[in-house]
Amino acid sequence: MTFNPSVLLIILLGIGFPMAFTQSITANVVVCVLALLYLMLHHANLKTIGLVTLISLPLALGTGWSFIAFGTGDVWLQAWLQVSRLFAYLFLGMSLTLTTPVKDMLMSFVLHLHLSPTFAYGLLAAFNLLPRIQRQVKTIRYSANLRGMTYHLWQPQLYFKAILSAIQWSDDLAQGMASHGFSEGFPRTMTYQDTLPKWQWLVAGILIIGYVGMSFFI
Amino acid sequence: MTKLAIENFSFRYRDSGPDELSQITWTPAAGSFNLLIGASGSGKSTLLKAMTGLLPQFGGTVTSGEITLDDLPIATVAPFERAKRVALLFQNPNRQFAMATPLEQITFALENIQAPAADIPHQVDEALATIGITALANQNLITLSGGEKQKVALATILALGSDYILLDEPFANVDPHARHELMHLLKQLQMHHGKTIIVADHDFSGYPDLIDTVYQLVDHQLTQTDASVLSANTGVDPLFPAPSRNALSPLALDDVSIDMAGRPLIESATFALPAGQLGLLSGVNGSGKSTLFAAITHQRPYRGLLHWDGQDSQKIKMKRWAQTVGLVFQDAMDQFVALTVADELALSQKHTRLPDYWTTARIEQTLDQLNLTPHTEANVYQLSGGQQKKLQVLSMLIMSQPVLLLDEPLAGLDTVSMQHVLDLIQTSIQANHISALMISHQRIGLADYVDYEIHLQGHHLIMGGAQ
């Protein structure tokens, strides 16, 4: 079963919002398990999942520890709640981003969720610019070296210059898009087509209501 | 057939001041091949962008007249209607694509002009096949060479069906072989598809056999000229001798080869830089001059050995290497690290290798010579192109790395400024025994300054100017 990216997004938001208030560890664990199952079913990259989990492990430990050390009341329950919440958010997010290419995601939002094409293509172009931005950051660091200075990755000067370059590029890109006929506010053909059977919305509704029910009444 | 007409058109970027284009009237003949020439900064790009409606949409003001597309002012025509009639191929092939692959980019363009969804795959295939790049359809655009990117841009324009194809120095980042191929593709589009072609270019080689008319922008005005100006421009350039083999600097290349996009760009380059002299590195666009600089400065990989004082330079840490070999970037924006002229120079003075030579008094005197004194508090990003070049060269000369590589330091400079910059380079490298190597397309006026020439041709370094 493959959810349409738009349905997945609604499920993400529908579960993610009440998750900020819920006190149910069980509900969070169920979300983690279901999201992980969905990821397995779609052959998501296990290495990426492992890496993301590994990187967030110290953050989860830190959050948990701070509740144990400084919390009041049932500190262990609070700690486990925070840790399970963090991983539930993480796996929910991955169930969309690791199963759907950025382009399909944005096009689906345009098609079903009324996302503006200008926004979608702007974002898509920005994604396609990422390798070039990496190269520009390298040039900026080299230009500092030439003047006897070192820009470290945490220094704002580095990003100030990178932003200046990005502004220049965004103007060039806007001109390139306009010269290839992209017109804001006019209709355009969509060759991207996907299937969104009505039952997917039904499943989304059941999942969201199920989560809310589980987290507040169990 | 579409009609594109320019009537008494004047345009400027700033709110006030002189026009960049003044009273231009031109109706390109339908189905003709036109070459647009003029010095850098003469307004060729501005004119082409105005003809596609990108200006004043993306800045500037029309001060008189208008440009019409099928008798409608072009500014009132929506971009997707314009693109079907007149399209522009940009100078920098990296900055015109929004999508990741040629297939996606052409599909995107066809969606914009509201082509029926069912026809799009076929139209994409046809455009790719006409340009001969079917094999590239699903490759990531970032991995393509400059020439291949321009072919993708051309295929996109072809798919849009534009009657007018405008090209703004389309071969500046393209190797000579691809340039030749692209020029003949354009000729075929004119002959067999009835397109009107307008190309702006600095390098006239190959054009006399292809074009119908030549237009020239001088003093912001457009005139039709004789094709003989294309040949008159060659043969007056001075040639320089081979580099001397005595008094060498510690920098030497030993059998250095560089690949570009999987193909060899430079093969077995071997030479040592003479000390205290200014050399010229020449060669056509795309021959690999800037790439050679990138290898010497350790900004890109190469094969072979780059020695410093007999030692493999790769053993030297980047930070120290940047203090050994200096680079004046082709794009001034890449050079600056501070916000104002004064800060930029203060930074160089603080870190200079030769604080006794670059005293405050000398820097102030040099600023005066370069006519930069009134701008010391100015923002470096708001200086004119020429002022930026002067500041860029001065700040690197103050750093005084033992070797200095200069990538087009004279581009966009008028004759007087060029002399000042060359005087400055000559004085400071001779006084401090700095070895300098300069890339310049401009040769006229270099006779009194350049000591030797290295010519890059057919993947090889040739010592001495080519005949």
Tell me the pLDDT tens digit for each residue of A102-128.
Answer: 999 999 999 999 999 999 999 998 888
Strand partners, B213: B34
Spell out the residues 6+ positions from residue B50 whose beta carbon is closer than 8 angstroms to its own: B9, B11, B21, B56, B62, B67
Q: What is the DSSP pairing of strand B303-308 with strand B248-260?
A: antiparallel
Cβ atoms of residues B32 and B196 within 8 Å: yes
Q: How confident is residue B236, by pLDDT bands cut at 50, 70 and 90?
A: low
Percentage of chain B exceeding pLDDT 90: 66
DSSP code for B14: S
Rama region for A105: left / alpha / beta (φ>0; ψ in -120 to 50; rest):
alpha
pLDDT at B239: 79
Determine how many CB atoms are found less than 10 A away from the CB of residue B345. Answer: 23
> For tokens 């025994």, what's the residue?
B433
Name the minimum distance, in Å, from the CA of B229 to any CA of chain A.
32
Cβ atoms of residues B200 and B48 within 8 Å: yes
Name all domains of chain B by residue range, CATH numbers in brackets.
Answer: 4-233 (3.40.50.300), 248-463 (3.40.50.300)
Structure tokens at A196: 């969104």
Decide if pLDDT at B319 tops 50: yes
pLDDT at B416: 83
Over residues A23-49, the mean pLDDT reads 94
| pLDDT single digits (tens) B205-227 | 889 889 999 999 988 899 999 88
Substitution target in A146, A182, A192 with the highest count of B β-carbons within 10 Å is A146
Q: How confident is residue A139, by pLDDT bands cut at 50, 70 and 90?
A: very high
pLDDT greater at residue B88 or residue B203: B88
| pLDDT single digits (tens) B78-98 | 999 999 999 999 877 777 898
Q: How confident is residue B235, by pLDDT bands cut at 50, 70 and 90?
A: very low
Q: Of the candidates A85, A81, A56, A58, which has an alpha carbon nearest to the alpha carbon of residue A71?
A: A81
Name the closest residue on chain A to residue B298, using Cα atoms. A142
Over residues B101-120, the mean pLDDT reads 96
pLDDT greater at residue A190 or residue B231: A190
Cβ atoms of residues A124 and B98 within 8 Å: yes
Rounded-to-integer distance, Cα A168 and Cα A174, Å: 10
Decide if pLDDT at B357 tops 60: yes
Q: How many helices (H) and strands (E) does chain B have?
A: 15, 20
Q: How confident is residue B69, by pLDDT bands cut at 50, 70 and 90?
A: very high
Structure tokens at B342: 């004064």
Q: How confident is residue B426, by pLDDT bands cut at 50, 70 and 90?
A: very high
| pLDDT single digits (tens) B241-280 | 888 888 889 999 999 999 877 778 899 999 999 999 999 9
Rounded-to-integer distance, Cα B396 and Cα B410, Å: 14
Q: Is the pTM of this model over 0.90?
A: no
Spell out the residues 6+ positions from residue A84 whose beta carbon is closer than 8 angstroms to its own: A25, A28, A29, A32
Over residues B193-198, the mean pLDDT reads 96
Over residues A54-63, the mean pLDDT reads 94
Residue B261 CA: distances (Å) to CA of A20, A136, B145, B183, B296: 50, 19, 6, 22, 19
pLDDT greater at residue B231 or residue A177: A177
pLDDT at A134: 87
pLDDT at B265: 87
Q: Which among B120, B337, B381 has the least Cβ separation from residue A147?
A: B337
| pLDDT single digits (tens) A178-200 | 999 999 989 999 999 999 999 99
Which of chain A's residues have a Cβ under 8 Å away from the Cβ of B319? Answer: 145, 150
Name the minimum distance, in Å, from the CA of A154 to any CA of chain B.
16
Rama region for B335: left / alpha / beta (φ>0; ψ in -120 to 50; rest):
alpha
Starting at the earlier edge strand, list the strands of the sheet with B72-73: B21-26, B4-12, B61-69, B72-73
Q: Which among A177, A179, A189 has the least Cβ separation from residue B52?
A: A179
pLDDT at A76: 92
Spell out the residues 6+ positions from residue B232 whose beta carbon is closer than 8 angstroms to its own: none
Strand partners, B379: B340
Q: Is B340 helix (H, G, I), strand (E, B) or coil?
A: strand
Cβ atoms of residues B204 and B233 within 8 Å: yes
Rounded-to-integer distance, Cα B26 and Cα B41, Å: 20
> For tokens 């990821």, what's the residue?
A39
The average confidence (pLDDT) of chain B is 90
pLDDT at B237: 62
**Is residue B24 classed exposed, middle or buried when 0-12, 13-18 and 19+ CB atoms within 10 A define those classes?**
buried
Which of chain B's residues have a Cβ under 8 Å away from the Cβ of A102? Answer: none
Is B169 part of the annotated catalytic residue set? Answer: yes
Do B84 and A147 lie within an 8 Å CB cutoff?
A: no
Length of chain A equals: 218
H/E stretch holding B259 reads strand B248-260
Strand partners, B299: none
> For tokens 């890339």, what's the residue?
B439
Q: Of the candidates B169, B11, B201, B183, which has an alpha carbon nearest to the alpha carbon of residue B93?
A: B169
Length of chain B equals: 467
Over residues A61-66, the mean pLDDT reads 94
Q: What is the ipTM of this complex?
A: 0.87
Residue B175 CA: distances (Å) to CA of B11, B32, B54, B148, B467: 34, 26, 28, 10, 20
Percentage of chain B exceeding pLDDT 70: 96
pLDDT at A87: 96
Q: Of the candidates B246, B254, B249, B245, which has an alpha carbon nearest to the alpha carbon of residue B401?
A: B249
Decide if pLDDT at B188 tops 50: yes
Which of chain A's residues have a Cβ under 8 Å away from the Cβ of B105? Answer: 180
Cβ atoms of residues A12 and A93 within 8 Å: yes
Spell out the residues 6+ positions from residue A144 whose beta carbon is closer than 8 angstroms to its own: A150, A151, A157, A158, B337
H/E stretch holding B308 reads strand B303-308
First to last CA, chain A: 28
Structure tokens at A39: 């990821």
pLDDT at A130: 85
H/E stretch holding B37 reads strand B33-37
Rounded-to-integer distance, Cα B349 and Cα B341, Å: 12
Identify whether A197 is preceded by a cis peptide bond (ω within 30 of 0).
no
Substitution target in A142, A150, A180 with the highest count of B β-carbons within 10 Å is A180
Which of chain A's residues have a Cβ under 8 Å away from the Cβ of B143? Answer: none
pLDDT greater at residue B465 or residue B306: B306
Over residues B196-202, the mean pLDDT reads 91
Which of chain A's residues have a Cβ under 8 Å away from the Cβ of B49? Answer: 175
Q: What is the DSSP pairing of strand B33-37 with strand B213-218?
A: parallel
Residue B449 CA: distances (Å) to CA of B31, B429, B437, B453: 46, 11, 12, 11
Q: Is A81 helix (H, G, I), strand (E, B) or coil?
A: helix
Decide if pLDDT at B385 tops 80: no
Decide if pLDDT at B382 tops 90: no
Percentage of chain A exceeding pLDDT 70: 100
DSSP code for B141: G
Cβ atoms of residues A137 and B59 within 8 Å: no
Helix boundaries (H) for B252-400: 289-296, 318-322, 332-335, 341-351, 360-369, 385-399
Decide if pLDDT at B440 tops 90: no
Angle between helices A5-19 and A102-113 (to 10 degrees): 90
pLDDT at B40: 65
Over residues B299-311, the mean pLDDT reads 94
Q: Count chain A–chain B contacts defined by CB atoms under 8 A.
A: 143
pLDDT at B253: 94
Cβ atoms of residues B160 and A181 within 8 Å: yes
Q: Does B29 touch chain A (CB under 8 A)?
A: no
